[in-house]
Amino acid sequence: MNNLIKFLLISVAAFFGLVTQSQAEYPEKPITMVIPLGPGGSHDLNARVFTSIVPQYLGNAIIVKLVPGASGQTGTSMVAQAKPDGYTLLFTHNYFDQLQSHIKKLPYNPLKDFKAVARINYSAACMIVRSDSKYKTLQDLFDAAKASNGKIKMGHSGMWGATMVPLAQILSWANVNASLTPYKGGGPTMQALLAGDVEAILQFPSGVNAQGNKVRTLACGAKEKSLGNPPVLSDLGFPGQIYMDRIILAPAGTPNDRIAKLQSALVKLKDDKTFKNLMKRLGENTAYMNGPDYEKVRVENSEKYKDLVKKMTKG
């Protein structure tokens, strides 16, 4: 019975929480946060978690709006054109934000038209193989790739997507080639690996965790405690870390005091028990980074990606 009462109370609270709050200062109405990706992906899930907790610190709700299409361009341009009043935000990742403009003409300039509110967390890209695979280390895999003359099969989650760019980056660092096949997102990529269609894939820890002993992690782009600390690329002699940042951006003209208000609410997530608990279960970390710090990362990354894209499109 307790469960029933709890259930009813929460449902009622969730519905009325959206309408009853009204204050004179920002935010006096719910904030819309656009995700330029489809439902059910890792951005959606991460957003569902923190938007269900932030309201108690912010004083108003954040409503998630999913606007997928054209590799994130549809949703991103929607926010770029929105009124910069702090009521429309964008929840995106570093590849849409810092790499895409080097590939195609966009109707907005990511670095100029947006400013960073915060990075919620990051996910390291990990190279995995099936547990019955003969490749025990990353070196084994790359040796085999070289021996196969670039014919070894690897999968990724879509052209210029969140595991394709890191994969290309790692291969370019190791100076090996592979036959890359795109799949529609992380799930189908994993399925392709398990079915034996491809030999190796990049995957984020939350996806790796679920498979337990069916897959073997060869290396990760950054430290990953949840996977039992597999070798990190930078320790294996590769020049850098590889991970996806999940970031909140606001249109560039948004008043600074409003962004500060958002940041002061978001930073409290770091110490929120429920948040930490839920994120841990998702297999995600809570490596929060404030807007001004992340601005520097954006500029640096954008330069790095420019070179990478040049290399990739040439070959």
Partner 1 sequence: MFDSFLNSFPLLFAGGSFLSIITAIILGLLIGLFVGALPGLTTLMAMAIVLPISFFLDPLIGIPFLIGVYKGGIFGGSIPAILVGLPGTGASVATTFDGPALTRLGKGRKALETALYSSVIGDLSSDVVTILLIGPIALIALLIGPPELAAILFLSVLIISSTSNGSVGKNMIMLAVGLLLALIGQDPIGALSRFTFDIFELRAGIPLLPMLIGLFAIPEILLNIENKSKDFIKTKLNLKKEEKLTWNEFKKLRRTIFRSTVIGTTIGMIPGVGQVVAAFVGYAAAKNASKNPERFGKGELEGIAAPEAANNAVNGPTLVPLLTLGIPGDNITAILLGAFVAHGLRPGPQLMTEQGSLIFAIMLCMVIANVLFLIIGYITIPIFSKVVSIKKSYLLPLTIVFAFAGSFVFRHNPVDLYFLVGFGVFGYILKKLSFDVTPLVMAFILAPPLEYAFGQTMSLGDENVLKYLLLERPIATFIICITPLLTWKLWQRSKQLRQVAAETTEEQEKKT
Binding site for partner 1 (CB under 8 A): 1-4, 6-8, 10-11, 14, 38-41, 44-45, 48-49, 51-52, 64-71, 73-74, 77-78, 103-104, 107, 151, 153, 158-160, 179-184, 187-188, 190-192, 194-195, 197-198, 206-207, 209-212, 214, 278, 281-283
Nearer to partner 1 among residue 187 and residue 231 (C-beta): 187
> What is the closest distance, in whole angstroms, from the C-beta atom of residue 5 to partner 1 in the complex?
9
> What is the closest distance, in whole angstroms, from the C-beta atom of residue 159 to partner 1 in the complex?
4
Nearer to partner 1 among residue 106 and residue 259 (C-beta): 106
**Furthest-apart CA atoms within the chain: distance in Å:** 67
What does the block give as tokens for 83? Answer: 């009124």
Q: Kind of pairing, strands 179-182 and 153-156?
A: parallel
Q: Which of 89, 82, 86, 111 is nearest to 33 (CA)?
A: 89
> What is the closest distance, in whole angstroms, from the C-beta atom of residue 208 to partner 1 in the complex?
10
> What is the closest distance, in whole angstroms, from the C-beta atom of residue 296 to partner 1 in the complex?
28
Nearer to partner 1 among residue 67 and residue 129 (C-beta): 67
Whether residue 67 contacts residue 74, with contact meaning beta carbons closer than 8 Å, is answered with: yes
Nearer to partner 1 among residue 82 and residue 233 (C-beta): 82
Strand arrangement of the beta sheet that strand 126-130 belongs to: 179-182, 153-156, 200-203, 126-130, 215-220
> What is the closest distance, in whole angstroms, from the C-beta atom of residue 243 to partner 1 in the complex?
20
HSE-up of residue 129 (Cα within 13 Å, Cβ side): 19
Nearer to partner 1 among residue 38 and residue 59 (C-beta): 38
C-alpha to C-alpha distances, 274 to 135, 235, 248, 268, 279, nearest whole angstrom: 39, 33, 20, 12, 8
Nearer to partner 1 among residue 120 and residue 232 (C-beta): 120
Q: Distance (Å, rounded) from C-alpha 193 to C-alpha 116? A: 36
Preceding peptide of 27 cis, ω within 30°: yes
Question: 273-282 vs 42-51: helix axis angle to the nearest 10?
Answer: 160
HSE-up of residue 306 (Cα within 13 Å, Cβ side): 7
Nearer to partner 1 among residue 172 and residue 226 (C-beta): 226
> What is the closest distance, in whole angstroms, from the C-beta atom of residue 142 to partner 1 in the complex?
19
> What is the closest distance, in whole angstroms, from the C-beta atom of residue 122 to partner 1 in the complex?
18
